[in-house]
Amino acid sequence: MEDTIVAMATAMGEASIHILRLSGPEAETIIEDCFIPRNIERWLLRENFTLNLGVFFDEGRVLDEVLVGRMLAPSSFTGEDVFEVNCHGGPFVAQRILQACIRHGAFLAEPGEFSKRAFLNGKLDLVQAEAVIDLIGSRTETAANLALTQLKGGLSETIINLREEILEILAFIEASIDFPEDDVENLDRESLEFRIDKAIFNTKNLLIGSKTGKLLRDGLLTVIVGRPNVGKSSLLNALLHEERAIVTDIPGTTRDEIRETVSVGGILLRLVDTAGICESEDLVERLGVERTWKALKTAELILLVVQANVALTDDEYYILETYATKVVIIVNKIDLTEDERIVTDYNMGQWIPFSVIKHQGFDELEAEIRRRVYQGDAALASVPLLSNVRQISSLDRCSSALIQALESIRLGMPWDILSIDIRQALHHVSEITGHNVQDSLLDDIFSRFCIGK
């Protein structure tokens, strides 16, 4: 924190502009040493949040004509004096300016060091910091909106409110322990049980939504499965809007997994097109079928493609029975039946009449995917959600500690034993926002950022 750091804030390579970011106690001094503004009077006013045109020089020679943005402490992203140098987009030009800043006393920033300083200076909490990573890496509009909501502090506020509830419970318990005979407001066990039960309820609501949040952030691992020549690859191509998989009338054309990603209704699907399930004498085809069965075990959604008016096989029944909660049945090729009737020898699972050729069933499939991701609760689309594995794990441990505390009350345990459980709950919920966090965890989180962020 005592050093001034510098890094590229844009990716290297040819571009219209590059941006270099300086932050720290000597940032202004370094800029003063290397920058001659065109409007010196305006520059000397030290106005915050301004762009200033001038030339950047080092060792007596001009390196480039630049725009310098000035963001002074404590109003900057890091909470320190921050200067951003906008130079022309040649990598050689940017590197010369970067090296000049280092020669004048700056240190090359580590990955995520700007965001880490923002956290340490109280400009954002860990939920918001991790939302920065998610926003940069988001691949759908829905995922970007979720990360943006977290970055704005919507989720942090919910977590902080829960933390305050637990703090209040702990304060009452410890007051009863430390001052049992003084005039201190005591909670009887019944009202204390009510408060803990309320905290458990709020925690569980967050955990319920976290399943949706994680799927929106990471995507849904979706396996397309079925017999040979039922239209699996045609479905994949239609979802991708490109001819990704070879489609022929010859069964067994697909012999290995094809993996692609696509956004369907704002949900990222990590698609896996698999070899058709069948008995085969062909070694390569048998290996492909083995991979199909393995893929089903890790799938979060299974699109079981069957053919209209064709009876189900034992393998298809097995998939329906084994993975019932994950399966959506795509009853394909209904355009080939005169009355568009579908198979009638099964009554389990969600099924959708489908025709890739007539583009029928896609809207229904999108609606079913959204229903599953949002768990049938449309309100989840508009509330802050946990989506990060670390955050979910900490909240889950917090919930377990609260449940243990509730059990301790019902067993008539002493107040000091009860306080241990509540302290554990407080510790775990504090890990989420960073109120209580180890340096090793901070290093791990911010090392995942790119340099310059």
Binding-site annotation, residues for GTP? 229-234, 248-254, 273-276
Beta strands at 220-226 and 267-273: parallel, antiparallel or unpaired: parallel
Whether residue 425 contacts residue 166, with contact meaning beta carbons closer than 8 Å, is answered with yes
**Residues flagged as binding site:** 21, 84, 123, 229-234, 248-254, 273-276, 453
Q: Which residues are 6's β-sheet partners?
A: 22, 108
CA 137-378-374 angle, to 5 degrees, is 50
Whether residue 271 contacts residue 190, with contact meaning beta carbons closer than 8 Å, is answered with no
How big is the chain by its Cα radius of gyration, in Å? Answer: 29
Q: Give the per-residue SS3 of 172-212.
A: HHHHHHHCCCCCCCCCCHHHHHHHHHHHHHHHHHHHHHHHH
Sign of CA dihedral 178, 182, 184, 189: positive
Cα 398 from chain centroid (whole Å) = 21
**Residues flagged as binding site for (6S)-5-formyl-5,6,7,8-tetrahydrofolate:** 21, 84, 123, 453
Rounded to whole angstroms, the Cα distance separating 169 from 413 reads 16
Beta strands at 301-307 and 267-273: parallel, antiparallel or unpaired: unpaired
Rounded to whole angstroms, the Cα distance separating 220 from 313 reads 27
Kindly give the residue spans of alpha helices, DSSP state H, lying in 257-324. 283-298, 314-322
Residue type, 396: D
User: For residue 251, is the peptide bond before it cis, meaning its omega torsion is within 30 degrees of 0?
Assistant: no
- Which 3 state secondary structure label does DSSP give 221? strand
CA 103-104-107 angle, to 5 degrees, is 70
**Residues flagged as binding site for K(+):** 229, 248, 250, 253
**C-alpha pair distances (Å), 328 with each of 91, 223, 319:** 50, 11, 11
Rounded to whole angstroms, the Cα distance separating 261 from 139 reads 9
Whether residue 81 contacts residue 6, with contact meaning beta carbons closer than 8 Å, is answered with no
**C-alpha pair distances (Å), 280 with each of 86, 228, 291:** 62, 11, 14
**C-alpha pair distances (Å), 120 with each of 4, 45, 106, 116:** 15, 29, 20, 6
CA dihedral 279→280→284→287, nearest 10 degrees, is 20
Tokens encoding 185? 């407001």
**Residues flagged as binding site for Mg(2+):** 233, 254
The DSSP 8-state label assigned to residue 5 in this structure reads E
